Amino acid sequence: MKTYLDCIPCFLRQTLSAAKMASDDPALHEKLVRQVLQEASTMNFDRSPVEMGMQIHRTLRELSGNPDPYRAVKDRSNQRMMKVYPQLLSRVNAAPNPLAMAMRLAIAGNIMDFGAQENLDDETVDKAIAESMAIPLSLDAIAQFRQEVERARDILYLGDNTGEIVCDRLLLEQLPREKITYVVRGNPVINDATIADAESVGIAELVPVIDNGSDAPGTILAECSPAFRDRFAAADLIIAKGQGNYESLSDTDKNIFFLLRAKCPVIAQNLDCAIGVQVLQRGRRR
Amino acid sequence: MKTYLDCIPCFLRQTLSAAKMASDDPALHEKLVRQVLQEASTMNFDRSPVEMGMQIHRTLRELSGNPDPYRAVKDRSNQRMMKVYPQLLSRVNAAPNPLAMAMRLAIAGNIMDFGAQENLDDETVDKAIAESMAIPLSLDAIAQFRQEVERARDILYLGDNTGEIVCDRLLLEQLPREKITYVVRGNPVINDATIADAESVGIAELVPVIDNGSDAPGTILAECSPAFRDRFAAADLIIAKGQGNYESLSDTDKNIFFLLRAKCPVIAQNLDCAIGVQVLQRGRRR
């Protein structure tokens, strides 16, 4: 997906929000905002919005001297979701269609995105999860997903945010784990999950976990490590969580399912859905 | 008032909204957005947000080749408000305190600002006006305003937006008109009123109308004509309508009353009020 002009005000909003999160120094806030304005003025808008997200947070880490400004936010999200994990697991096990319930929760978990939203409180997360129980996913789409998972031999599950990864664990537990590898970002960026997070919520005990070698808040293949690119090329099914992975991979010709909440008007328009909708979307080029 | 970093995302939002208003050409939209990003990256944030508004709309007029992109919007606003003018006048005349009612309506009219808001529909305007009837203005503040008006010999009434100027007419009709001069922008900018608008709604028949010689969506004295600056220096009372006039004149040491609706979080914080509040604020340096 390319960058729309409507993304530009949002980049600046995100920049400011991230700057305030990482530092109390107004001089740093101003420096970061000016640098992002400068970079955005010459940005190639044919690239995905994830590229700008990567640049913003790279510059933020450089200017603040803090290699992982969201570490505390990430720990809190993981811990909080691990607390509710047993209840969510009971829900999955008690559901008439446990796979469908786990998919619904995995998508609902995608609300925990500190890029697309500021001030994400516990209440909003609880509400998203509660609502997700009632949201019907297309039975056809679930059947198709199940069929592709059964057919595949080598599946990459691309994770997105901390907290959310606990919901991914619920879905992984419903899938044939022997053929799945879970993928996280190669470096801290926003509240996205890295290896340490996958380990802390127990995903690393379920399936192999690799990182993509990149600090983009999505999957920009050109930014990923050669090792990850080889794995990506070899995989015959990709399960991609979240808006960043959708933005950066929506034009790929891989066999791919996107699981996300549409959290901004641009994505909603691109997916032809309303804001806040839980999306299970097959790759378009297939 | 200086420019806050929180103004930056809003500048970009306004840029895009104005570009779409003025043209259907995506190439023009992109060019304008890139130019504003570039200008904002080096902008002096000690200046008022009105400076950036001026730059944005100057660039928009240059790139679009349209010297007055909001002309149709402005005509529609004026005509629509002239239609309800007789009803509003009856309300003023029937009120126990006609001056207070006229002041309330003059402030309510400040909702008609296409800079601070997009998609301003008739319903929103009607609602603002209806609500304004019930909003109590401080009797002390009104008494103070009345006293200053009585005491003054040379009053400048700085208008703001088209449509809104019909509400200004209601207030002018309650004031000692022989000592008042009404001021409009020197050139078209957003939907701000110019001489033609003051003439079309009948203000020019009530009081002398002058323009400030500038295309800023506010009153940046350094941008105004020497003639206007002389008039401003000579006046012993300024009645300033709207957010742009507040942003650009809040630090002046003139005897001044600001009448506006606080339409954005930055202004609301600066004025220590909630968003949407109708404000009658005395100049601070007095």
* Domain termination residue (choose one: A40, A64, A88): A64
Q: How would residue B72 be classed by pLDDT, with cut points 50, 70 and 90?
A: very high
Q: How far apart are CA B36 and CA B58, in angstroms?
A: 11
* Residue numbers of A between 1 and 20 with CB closer than 8 Å to B: 5-6, 8-10, 12-13, 16, 19
Report pLDDT for A113. 76
Q: With an 8 Å Cβ cutoff, is A45 touching chain B? A: yes
pLDDT over 60 at B138, yes or no: yes
Together in a domain, B42 and B175: no
Please check whether residue A2 lies inside any domain of the structure: no
Residue-number span of the structural domain to which A83 is assigned: 71-282
Cβ pair A40:B37 closer than 8 A: yes
| Contact residues, chain B, for A8 at CB < 8 Å | 12, 16, 33, 37
pLDDT for the residue B127: 82
Q: Are residues A172 and A263 in the same domain?
A: yes
Position B118 in a domain? yes
Clarify whether residues B177 and B197 are in a common domain: yes
Residue ending a domain, choose from B64, B84, B112? B64
Give the residue-averaged pLDDT of B215-238: 98
In A130-282, beta strands by DSSP E: 155-158, 180-184, 209-211, 237-241, 256-261, 278-282
CA distance B194 to chain A (A): 30
Judge whether A172 and A201 are in contact, CB under 8 Å: no
- Residue A31 exposed, middle or buried by CB count within 10 Å (0-12, 13-18, 19+): middle
Contact B209, B203 (CB under 8 A): yes
Yes or no: say if A184 and A212 are a contact pair by the CB < 8 Å rule.
Answer: yes
Closest residue in B to A27 (Cα) is: B5
B276 to chain A, minimum CA–CA distance in Å?
A: 21
Q: Give CB contacts under 8 A, 24+ apart, made by A249-253.
A: A249/A158, A249/A218, A249/A219, A249/A283, A250/A1, A250/A283, A250/A284, A251/A1, A251/A284, A251/A285, A252/A221, A252/A283, A252/A285, A253/A283, A253/A285, A253/A286
CB-based contact B41 A45, cutoff 8 Å: no
Q: Which two tokens stand for residue B178?
A: 């022989």
C-beta atoms of A5 and B38 within 8 A: no
CA distance A217 to chain B (A): 21
Q: Which of A12, A33, A55 to mutate: most B Cβ within 10 Å?
A: A12
Whether residue B46 lies within 8 A of chain A, CB to CB, comes out as no
Q: Which CATH number does the domain housing residue B103 bear?
A: 3.40.50.10880
Under 8 Å between Cβ of B261 and B249? no
Q: How confident is the model at residue B119 (pLDDT cuts 50, 70, 90)?
A: low
pLDDT of residue A130: 83
Query: What whole-number distance in Å separates Cα of residue A236 and Cα of residue A260?
Result: 20
Q: Do B11 and B34 lie in a common domain? A: yes
pLDDT of residue A120: 67
B209 with B136, same domain?
A: yes
User: Could you read off the pLDDT of B146-189 as tens digits, one per residue?
Assistant: 999 999 999 999 999 999 999 999 999 999 999 999 999 999 99
Model confidence at B116, pLDDT cuts 50, 70, 90, reads low
Q: What residues in A contact B12, CB-CB < 8 Å?
A: 8-9, 12
Decide if B156 is inside a domain.
yes
Question: Residue A9 and residue B5: Cβ atoms within 8 Å?
Answer: no
Q: Which residues contact B87 (CB under 8 A, 6 or more apart)?
A: none
Set of chain B residues whose Cβ sits within 8 Å of the Cβ of A30:
5, 45
Determine the pLDDT at residue A126: 81
Min Cα–Cα distance to chain A from B222, Å: 25
Q: Is residue A1 part of a domain?
A: no
Please give the span between the terminal C-alpha atoms of chain B, in angstroms, as a whole number.
Answer: 16
Same domain? For B180 and B120 the reply is yes
Kindly tell me if the per-residue pLDDT of B254 is higher than 60. yes
In chain B, the DSSP E strands lie at 155-158, 180-184, 209-211, 237-241, 256-261, 278-282
Q: What are the two backbone dihedrals, phi and then psi, of residue A145, each rounded to the nearest 5 degrees?
A: -60, -50
User: Does residue B227 fall inside a structural domain?
Assistant: yes
Tokens linked to B117:
């808001």
d(CA A190, CA A198): 16
Q: A20 in a domain, yes or no?
A: yes
Cα A252 to Cα A221: distance, rounded to the nearest angstrom: 10
> At A209, is the secondary structure helix, strand, or coil?
strand
| B residues 132..151 contacting A (CB < 8 A) | none
Whether B37 sits inside 8 A of A37 (CB atoms) is yes
Neighbours of B215 (CB within 10 A): 20
Taking residues B100-125, report their average pLDDT: 81
**Same domain, yes or no: A58 and A157:** no
Cα A229 from Cα A186, distance rounded (Å): 13
Q: Å from B26 to nearest chain A CA?
A: 9
More confident residue, B82 or A131: B82
Whether residue A102 sits in one domain with residue A57 = no
pLDDT one-digit tens code per residue, A98-142: 999 999 999 999 988 776 665 567 787 788 888 887 777 888 999
* pLDDT value, residue B112: 81
Chain B positions in Cβ-Cβ contact with residue A40 (cut-off 8 Å): 37
What is the longest distance spanned by two Cα atoms in chain A? 55
Mutate to test the interface with A, among B6, B11, B12, B43 (most CBs of A within 10 A): B12
Q: Which residues lie closer than 8 Å to A94 by C-beta, 6 or more apart?
A: none
**pLDDT for the residue numbered B130:** 83
Question: What pLDDT, on the 0 to 100 scale, is given for residue B149?
Answer: 97
Q: How many domains does chain A have?
A: 2
What six digits make up the tokens of B242?
A: 């709207």
Domain end call among B64, B95, B110 = B64
Closest CA to B112 of B55, B159, B50: B159
To the nearest whole Å, the CA of B39 is away from the closest chain A CA by: 9
Q: What is the mean pLDDT of chain B?
A: 93
Q: What is the pLDDT of residue A105?
A: 93
B28: contact with A, CB 8 A cutoff: no
Q: Does B124 touch chain A (CB under 8 A)?
A: no
For B165-179, the DSSP string reads: HHHHHHHHTTS-GGG
Which residue numbers in chain A have pLDDT < 70? 115-120, 285-286
| Residue A59 and residue A139 in one domain | no
Shared domain for B57 and B104, answered yes or no, is: no
| Chain centroid offset of residue B252 CA | 17
Predicted confidence (pLDDT) at residue B53 exceeds the cutoff of 70: yes
Task: For residue B135, give the DSSP letter.
Answer: P
Same domain (yes/no): B117, B242: yes
CATH code (residue B32): 1.10.8
In total, chain A counts a number of residues equal to 286
Residue at A166 is within a domain: yes
pTM value is: 0.90
**B286 has a pLDDT exceeding 70:** no
- Is B1 inside any structural domain? no
Q: What is the pLDDT confidence band of residue B35, given thresholds at 50, 70 and 90?
A: very high
Kindly state whether residues B25 and B164 are assigned to the same domain: no
